A and B are shown apart, each in its own frame.
Chain A
Amino acid sequence: MNKPEVKLVDENGVRLDGRKLDELRPIKMDVGVLDKADGSAYIEHGKNRIMAAVYGPREAHPKHIALADRAVIKCRYHMAPFSVEERKSPAPSRRELELSKVIREALENSVMSEAYPRTSIDIFIEILQSDGGSRCAGIAAASLALADAGVPLKEIVAACAVCKIDGKIALDPSDIEDKQGDADLPIAFMPKSGVITLLQMDGSLTEQEFNQALDMGITACKKISEIQVEALKRKYISVKEQAEERHEAQEAKA
């Protein structure tokens, strides 16, 4: 490497951004942030700023992609040109094409697609600002957008990455930890069913380190799942309050 390597973890096990090894970055989620889309969600996870939107179930297009016994699911993971340090061409890169595929596969299992044969459910993920773990944050947001669109789900999919930095397994890598770290392990997980729906890895891990990292990632996914459920509840409560206000206003008029 050409750049001088920064020490990512100090002797007390504290990371550059002050986190402990098993600590998540701050996460904020909002559901129903867009008007036109059938479902949408916004997530801030560390410096990640990601918007996800869902259209559908709607008529499959082109028609020949439709399946007779279930809905097809389409997925696009895309990074905005301004989302990274140096401008990224808006044309989809090979990385984005691969991620679109694995994210679709990570979400498909949660969707009860049999309920909508011959239709298409389209998932769009836009990375407005990219930090470490953007595919995981994108999955978390997209799963919320699916729920917001009213698509029947077995459960919400949570996702989080684990990394190895300065020889230690650590949760939820930031940008620099992702780039300079020794390994990156993104995981998507459905907590109630207890199943993994996305698993990728690059870097170098021993079997023991991998097992430790997997445990850490699954625990974190359970926490993220709670934040997702909270965000969804907030949306429903706000809808309910709005309806009640309207009702009261009408009664006052009468």
Chain B
Amino acid sequence: MSTTPQQPPIGKIEQKGIIDLLAKGLRIDERKLTDYRDLKIETGLIQKANGSAMVNLGKTKVMTGIKIELGTPFPDTPNQGVLTVNAELVPFASPAFEPGPPSEGAIELARVVDRGIRESKAIGLEALCVKPKKHVVIIFVDVYVLDHDGNLIDAASISALAALLTSKMKRYEMDGEEVHTGDELVPLPVLNEPVAITTAKIEGSMILDPCLEEELVMSSRLTVTTDRDSNICAMQKGGLGTFTDQEVRQAVKTAIEKGKEIRETIRGAAAGR
């Protein structure tokens, strides 16, 4: 059962501080309402993975590792490779995280990242079929949250894309009835670049890239994922609060604009790999 979460561990004075500052158009970390925190992307840290990226978004730290293996397709899509996204909220990333089966927060995070990649058709799954019904390439996208200072969805989607863009895979070909695995590595075909941008709403103010304190105070958030043509490919509203339709339209506009900028940063980090 999904249950109302416990009240956030944030003092009333701090809450009031955040809200009072926002009323003046200011934020606790001196950002403007539509400023993103510093974004640092490092790729290729994990040599044993097919691709990897460590993302630092302010103090939020998320790593994604890509593993590419040969496997069998789903019966309903015999000619397509398989994409699976999983998210792990590592227990040391926050005092609120605990070991155990994935929480609904972890599931939501993985599914929103998955939706962006899948719906923008970022991975050409048809091209990953080696032999219909028998052998296809499986791409495991494992998102590892290492330090939780807010806005995990954006950080995770950035790290997933950066890891995918820099992934290399073996060439699998049919050799008679057997699958032949080539030695040389080829880049994973990435056909689109989805970027998730999250807007949080605190007492009528709309802010981009909420940090943890802001997330604890926000009434709701809206994530809008856009592709390289600025089409919207995924959305997710979260939190107990609401949005007016005007606020939604504004969040979409902001996500399209900011998405372009973040996409360039990711391209820069992935270039030459």
Minimum CB–CB distance from B96 to chain A (whole Å) comes to 14
Can you list, as one digit per residue, whether each of B208-222 has a CB less than 8 Å from chain A (1) or not (0)? Answer: 000000000000101
Answer yes or no: B268 CB below 8 A from chain A CBs.
Answer: no
Interface Cβ pair total, 8 Å cutoff? 127
Answer yes or no: A202 CB below 8 A from chain B CBs.
Answer: yes
**CB-defined contacts of A102 to chain B, threshold 8 Å:** 108, 236-238
Binds A, one of B3-11, B58-66, B136-144: B3-11
Q: Which of A171-189 contact B (CB under 8 A)?
A: 185
The answer to whether A67 and B6 have CB atoms under 8 Å apart is yes
Query: Main SS of the interface on chain B?
Result: mixed
The answer to whether B1 and A199 have CB atoms under 8 Å apart is no
Given A195-B244, A210-B232, also A75-B1 (CB < 8 A): yes
**CB-defined contacts of B190 to chain A, threshold 8 Å:** none
Minimum CB–CB distance from B152 to chain A (whole Å) comes to 15
The answer to whether B231 and A205 have CB atoms under 8 Å apart is yes
Answer yes or no: B115 CB below 8 A from chain A CBs.
Answer: yes
Using C-beta atoms within 8 Å of the partner chain, give the interface range for chain B. 35 or more
Q: Which of B184-236 contact A (CB under 8 A)?
A: 220, 222, 227, 230-236
In the complex, A70 Cα to B6 Cα: how many Å?
11
The answer to whether B6 and A201 have CB atoms under 8 Å apart is no
In the complex, A71 Cα to B233 Cα: how many Å?
36
The answer to whether A204 and B119 have CB atoms under 8 Å apart is yes
In the complex, A90 Cα to B36 Cα: how many Å?
42
The answer to whether A199 and B237 have CB atoms under 8 Å apart is yes
In the complex, A78 Cα to B230 Cα: how many Å?
35
How many chain A residues touch the partner (CB < 8 A)? 47
Answer yes or no: B98 CB below 8 A from chain A CBs.
Answer: no
Minimum CB–CB distance from A51 to chain B (whole Å) comes to 17
Can you list, as one digit per residue, whether each of B242-264 has a CB less than 8 Å from chain A (1) or not (0)? Answer: 11110011001100100000000
The answer to whether B108 and A201 have CB atoms under 8 Å apart is no
In the complex, A204 Cα to B108 Cα: how many Å?
20
Answer yes or no: A104 CB below 8 A from chain B CBs.
Answer: yes
List 11 A–B pairs whose Cβ atoms lie within 8 Å, in order of A's numbering.
A2-B79, A65-B4, A94-B107, A98-B108, A100-B104, A101-B107, A102-B108, A108-B240, A109-B242, A196-B243, A196-B244
Report B's interface with A, CB cutoff 8 A. 1-4, 6-7, 77-79, 104, 107-108, 110-111, 115, 118-120, 220, 222, 227, 230-245, 248-249, 252-253, 256
Q: Beyond A94-B111, A109-B240, A201-B232, list 6 extra A-B contacts (CB 8 Å).
A: A69-B7, A74-B2, A75-B1, A75-B3, A197-B237, A201-B233
